[in-house]
């Protein structure tokens, strides 16, 4: 999925230079920050600093591991296969990972149910995995609800169905 106004493959020298910034070894790149209901969703194509984005080092490692998994498996598998492979890759990088963690949800101080987080990395970042044609605002809302239930401020939404994984990555900060 190409972000409107974003660089295309080929294109001008400036666009090719911009694309190099999205290589998995340098996920800092430029990103687009979109305000969404008291949180920020970071996409490609606008600049943000480390001060604005907490847990940047952890999220960069997670994205790098996800890209490694995607390079090996490519698009086409179901979500659970990518989840298992990503957990393996993250543990190889010595990151602590909780898989399918059950989270209690309360309303007005009353327990109303449980919610599951795909992954929680280092106890700081929620990772929601998808293997679908296109991410929608509902997927971002689902990640934000999981982050709220986990009481965490940083999340990644990763769609493994993209031809280039980086096109299916969103960072969210509450």
pLDDT in tens, 98-118: 999 999 999 999 999 999 999
Model confidence at 6: pLDDT above 70 = no
Q: State the pLDDT confidence band at 23, using cuts at 50, 70 and 90.
A: very low
CA–CA separation, 90 vs 66, rounded Å?
9
pLDDT digits (tens, 9 = 90+) for 157-169: 999 999 999 999 9
Question: What average pLDDT score do residues 145-167 get?
Answer: 96
Model confidence at 5: pLDDT above 50 = no
Question: What average pLDDT score do residues 143-160 get?
Answer: 96
Q: Who contacts 120 (Cβ-Cβ below 8 Å, separation ≥6)?
A: 97, 98, 101, 126, 127, 150, 152
Share of the chain above pLDDT 90, in %: 68
CA–chain centroid gap for 47, Å, is: 17
pLDDT of 94 reads 97
pTM: 0.73
């Amino acid at each position: 999925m190409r972000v409107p106004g974003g660089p295309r493959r080929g294109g001008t020298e400036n666009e090719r230079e911009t694309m190099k910034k999205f290589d998995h070894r340098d996920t800092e790149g430029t990103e687009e920050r979109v305000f969404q209901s008291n949180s920020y969703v970071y996409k490609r194509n606008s600049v943000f600093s480390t001060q604005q984005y907490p847990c940047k080092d952890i999220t960069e490692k997670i994205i790098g591991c996800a890209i490694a998994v995607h390079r090996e498996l490519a698009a086409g598998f179901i979500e659970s296969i990518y989840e298992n492979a990503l957990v393996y890759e993250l543990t190889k990088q010595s990151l602590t990972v909780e898989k399918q963690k059950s989270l209690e949800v309360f309303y007005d101080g009353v327990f109303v149910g449980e919610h599951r987080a795909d992954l929680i990395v280092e106890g700081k970042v929620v990772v929601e995995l998808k293997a679908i044609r296109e991410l929608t605002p509902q997927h971002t809302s689902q990640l934000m609800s999981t982050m709220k239930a986990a009481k965490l401020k940083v999340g990644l939404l990763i769609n493994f169905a993209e031809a280039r994984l980086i096109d299916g990555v969103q960072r969210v900060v509450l």
